Amino acid sequence: MKSTTRTLLAAALVLGVAAGPAVLPAGAAPVPATARTAAAETGGAPDSAALAAVIADLPSKDATAALARVGGTEGVWRGSAGVHDLRTNRAADPGGRFRAGSVTKVFTAAVALQLAGEGRIDLDRSARSYLPELIPAAYDGVTVRQLLNHTHGIPAAGMPGETVEEWYANRFERHDPRDMVRSATARPREFAPGEKQHYLNIGYTVAGLIIERVTGDSYEHQVGVRVLRPLGLRDTYFPGGSPRIEGRHNHGYQLMRLDDGTTGLRDVSVWGATDGWAAGDLISTTADLERFTNALFAGRVVRGPLLEEMFTLPKVPDLGSGAPAAYSVGLSMKKLGGREVWGKTGGRWGYNTAIASTRHGERTLVYSVNATDAKGQDMNKVALNLMLTAYGPPSK
């Protein structure tokens, strides 16, 4: 693999992976040259053979299954590969549900912007003014917009455990969003509001509570009546306190230390997601997420000028890298194959998910990859190669 290609791939912070920096895993094979070439030719149909080749060898050490949809005005491709579960080795169900992780944030942002359009939320008003009993004076300067574009400076909530094995042992523990906000705001701020960007869940936890305060309704019901029902997303739902994925779904697996002391794959399909809530507990399908993506980018979910909030990056540096901010309200942007690609990725144990689109819907991508390292520091190889094959390599 040429060093220039490796550098390009390693630099690809592809649409904001929640688990960590999206770099090419050590030892991973490069995307086939034919796939990179085809994807980089903007305006052409998606290369079905190249896309199919990315997932052809599943299950593998990187993933047990993958479901993907490429759409838009340039052409359509559908693919699924791998297995439903490692016990039966039955073929993966292309219509199966999965944990969408931080793709949930796009739904939360959309509802907040709808409420802003109705005059019920003011993006420039402080979060504390909506939740005075919860947000302390030290965070009085944080606005709703800063919650949504990760420039708020609130640190992450304290969570038990430091290893995947410890988190697995606590997988059924329930987390109250108010307690998570109290835990986070009891700590010193990371930076003054609006000065830097740090991608964290906590801003969306607060945003979910603000949605509940201004509507007098549950966050989940508001997303349902404002987004899920109008778009007919019948396979998308919030699990609440249930750790199970209801209905058809492909099992998720995580590489970890097993009970006998060896390292291997453990089925992690049953795992509570209350720590994610408005930032990451949605369950969906590729068909539903594709429908949502098409509607969102066409202006049928957030209407009028407020939609531009989702395509406007704050002019601040990233806290860790110092690079320009990559996150807007709900979405993230990366230049791939010579074009701006907007979208969101998500990771829950056993599942990596993404929605993506060029600004006017010329090419969309939705995938669910049953990754064995779904919350690792590197972007999963299969997920990364799907993104790069669909759109092309990162552009300067």
- 381's tokens: 């190889």
- 40's tokens: 């980089």
Single-letter code of the amino acid located at 308: E
Q: Compute the distance between CA of residue 58 and CA of residue 342 in angstroms, rounded to an integer.
A: 27
* 289-323 residue pLDDT tens: 999 999 999 999 999 999 999 999 999 999 999 99
Q: Where are the domains of the chain?
A: 3-391
* 372-388 residue pLDDT tens: 999 887 899 999 999 99
Q: Compute the distance between CA of residue 299 and CA of residue 342 in angstroms, rounded to an integer.
A: 14
CA pseudo-torsion sign 374, 336, 25, 324: negative
Q: Is 303 exposed, middle or buried (0-12, 13-18, 19+ CB in 10 A)?
A: exposed
Give the per-residue pLDDT at 378.
84
Give the per-residue pLDDT at 23.
29
Give the per-residue pLDDT at 10.
33
Q: Compute the distance between CA of residue 154 and CA of residue 235 in angstroms, rounded to an integer.
A: 33
| Cis status, amide bond into 314, omega within 30 of 0 | no
Residue whose C-alpha is closest to residue 349's, from 109, 123, 116, 169: 169
Residues 6+ apart with CB under 8 A from 100: 280, 282, 283, 284, 289, 346, 348, 351, 353, 368
Give the per-residue pLDDT at 43.
58
Q: Are strands 364-371 and 351-358 parallel, antiparallel or unpaired?
A: antiparallel
Give the per-residue pLDDT at 21.
30
Q: Which position has the token pair 């523990």? A: 173
Contact 207, 182 (CB under 8 A): no
CATH class of 3-391: alpha beta
Q: Compute the distance between CA of residue 118 and CA of residue 208 in angstroms, rounded to an integer.
A: 17
Give the per-residue pLDDT at 375.
86
Total-model pTM:
0.91
Q: Are strands 339-348 and 351-358 parallel, antiparallel or unpaired?
A: antiparallel
CA angle 63, 64, 69 (to 5 degrees): 80
- 314's tokens: 């704050």
Q: Residue 309 gets which letter from DSSP? A: G
Regions of the chain short of the pLDDT cut 70: 1-43
Give the per-residue pLDDT at 161.
86
Within 10 Å of residue 280's Cβ, how many Cβ atoms?
A: 23
DSSP string, 2-16: -HHHHHHHHT--TT-
